[in-house]
Structure 1
Amino acid sequence: MPAKVVVIGSLNMDLVTRAPRLPQGGETLIGHSFTKVCGGKGANQAVAAARLGAQVSMVGCVGRDAYGEELRAALLAEQVDCQAVSTVDDSSGVALIVVDDNSQNAIVIVAGANGALTPAVVGCFDSVLQAADVIICQLEVPDATVGHALKRSRELGKIVILNPAPASRPLPANWYENIDYLIPNESEASTLSGLPVDSRQTAQAAASRLIELGAGKVIITLGAQGSLLADGQRIEHFPAPTVKAVDTTAAGDTFVGGFAAALAGGKGEAEAIRFGQVAAALSVTRAGAQPSIPTLSEVQAFKTP
């Protein structure tokens, strides 16, 4: 049977503009292009896990609007189980994204229907959580919901992953005991640890601090510099595959989804990290969020240039 991954989180319609550079305050730029792409960190991670070999269920909310219909249809097209995707009387979540010529992005999120994903709604689909091998959460839904999901996932004995994105403040202290793998990027690791993260050395200090706070294991993703794994006993660096980046949108989501799919499928920790890194590397060679996520066969066929 395929490994089962449950993603509890956001579904957003991404409204993406490409421009020469990111605008400054009060500035108007002429953009190169505009596209509308299904996204949201939760949905992206669900698509990634599904394309990379897992059987996936999504727990989330969409609005009673055209975007909501499109977001649900996109997941169904990837064979993601949507029985736990509820339709609510609100607009669907949106993300306004600007990508510059150096493939860096700036994002503004409007939660919309994602704010209706309450602990009570998650509780209605407890059987979905019970069937999981790995459960993934992020921070684009209410904090109370994330805290509930982490605690319930731990009670059920599942492997629990928290991708703390977007991170605007430290996590509640009582969350850490329920997290097996905390997977922040550099800026998120800095926010959570209170330490600057701008190199492998500073990332090590931040990872150690997050272990002290109670996380089981920490994986800090460092973009082109790879990733760092800390478990309280050791810190190991995993170099990233070398590729030419076009758009970094959803690279972190692809890593998380790929790592979860590999872990749920029985791969060892180091192998799962490398698998997620290859998937993320392939994703940055393409534009968009979900359209950029590779398939299992593409990851298996990848060879470092």
Structure 2
Amino acid sequence: MNDLTVIGSNMIDLITYLDRMPVEGETVEAPEFEMGFGGKGANQAIAAARLGSKVRMITMVGHDNFGKQQLDNFQKNGIDTHGIGVGESNSGVAPIFVDPSSDNRIIVVKGANNELMPDVLDNFTDQIKYSKLVVLQQEIPLETNYHAIELAQQFNVPVLLNPAPANEHLNVDYVSKVQFFTPNETELATLTGLPTNNLDEIKIAAQTLISKGVGNIIITLGSKGALWVTAEHTEIVPGKHVKAVDTTGAGDSFIGAFAHYYSSGESVPDALAHANQYAAVTVTRKGTQKSYPIATELPALLAATL
């Protein structure tokens, strides 16, 4: 049995570290540039695999050299690549701009990720059927996610849907079929149409989705932690305060870590607490996937960081 099946995107991150963000029409010199592996689906898969989960990735890479590099990266991280196809488009890329406060701005060019269409999943129904958890995001066509949810429901496999990036066209009927829905405040506001400016407003918005059948909503709150909401229970699992260097990919590291710990048998609060710790470590290091530690590194990094 696969621990996890991650169905989603892969990107090549093009990361520029800036002394300050330019204003409109301005050119500024940047002190540092890096390339790395990213994409929300790939990030979450890599985080879970580095923590010890058996992970299958279903995605589409480009026909270019970036695509070859992505395949090699998945294999080096122990991820089952039988579900990875090569598309006709170039690979997806994500130009990322990071300022000295570690805030970032990201542009996503989906490329071959747009070729991950619903019918592709029909080739991998056994992999979905025998998973402990299916993990989805929104850098691939919504229709593909809908089909993944239908297949998982057919096989009684729980689904975690991370609605990032936000998409106002997301169908709430499908959201109601997943076990875990994991938006941040902005994504929650986009789907519900309700304000999420403070904790009370966030709770109200979350309850509107609970009333429509979502079992668990986990709202990520950055360094503040995560808010877990069910029909009977509301709980904040506090985050860990650290000196952030680069927050790129931190949300994905949280999701991947939560998926790993939960599918390994931990309770939701315990899995959230451990995911908070993992994400806190990643923001103290530059880059996206390169900031994700493996399980054996984690105790020493936690002791030094938290």
- TM-score, length-normalised on structure 1? 0.95
Q: Deviations over 1:220-279 (max 9, x none)?
A: 010111110001112100111121101111111011101111111111111111111111
Contact conserved, 2:160 with 2:178, CA < 8 A, in 1?
A: yes
Q: Which residue of 2 aligns with 1:257?
A: 256
Partner Cα separation in structure 1 for residue 27 and residue 121 of structure 2? 41
Q: Which residue of 1 aligns with 2:107?
A: 108
Contact conserved, 2:226 with 2:237, CA < 8 A, in 1?
A: yes
Contact conserved, 2:142 with 2:170, CA < 8 A, in 1?
A: no
Matched, 1:238 2:253: no
Partner Cα separation in structure 1 for residue 97 and residue 195 of structure 2? 25
Q: Which residue of 1 aligns with 2:17?
A: 18
Letter in 1 for 2:276: Q
Q: Which residue of 2 aligns with 1:130?
A: 129
Contact conserved, 2:117 with 2:141, CA < 8 A, in 1?
A: yes
Q: Deviations over 1:262-305 (max 9, x none)?
A: 11111111111111111111110111110011222344452474
> Percent identity among equivalent residues?
39
Partner Cα separation in structure 1 for residue 225 and residue 251 of structure 2? 11
**1:1-305 matches, cutoff 5 A:** 4-301=3-300, 302-303=302-303, 305=306
Contact conserved, 2:219 with 2:226, CA < 8 A, in 1?
A: yes
1:22 deviates by: 3.0
1:87 deviates by: 0.6
Partner Cα separation in structure 1 for residue 276 and residue 90 of structure 2? 34
Residue segments in structure 2 that go unaligned for 5+ positions in a row: none
SS of equivalent residue, structure 1 residue 178: coil
Letter in 2 for 1:163: N
Letter in 2 for 1:125: F
1:129 deviates by: 1.0
Contact conserved, 2:47 with 2:257, CA < 8 A, in 1?
A: yes
Question: Cα gap change, 1:192/1:86 in structure 2, threshold over 3 Å: closer, same or farther?
Answer: same
Letter in 2 for 1:175: Y
Contact conserved, 2:59 with 2:84, CA < 8 A, in 1?
A: yes
Contact conserved, 1:20 with 1:32, CA < 8 A, in 2?
A: yes
Q: How many residues align?
A: 304
Letter in 2 for 1:191: T
Instruction: Spell out structure 1 runs of 4+ moving beyond 6 A.
Output: none
Letter in 1 for 2:241: T
Contact conserved, 1:254 with 1:280, CA < 8 A, in 2?
A: yes
SS of equivalent residue, structure 1 residue 125: helix
Contact conserved, 1:10 with 1:114, CA < 8 A, in 2?
A: yes
1:159 deviates by: 1.7
Partner Cα separation in structure 2 for residue 133 and residue 43 of structure 1? 18
Question: Cα gap change, 1:210/1:177 in structure 2, threshold over 3 Å: closer, same or farther?
Answer: closer
Letter in 1 for 2:79: V
- TM-score, length-normalised on structure 2? 0.95
Partner Cα separation in structure 2 for residue 204 and residue 65 of structure 1? 45
Residue segments in structure 1 that go unaligned for 5+ positions in a row: none
Partner Cα separation in structure 1 for residue 234 and residue 263 of structure 2? 23
Q: Deviations over 1:42-74 (max 9, x none)?
A: 000000010112100000000111000111111
Partner Cα separation in structure 1 for residue 286 and residue 208 of structure 2? 35
Letter in 2 for 1:239: P
Letter in 1 for 2:194: L
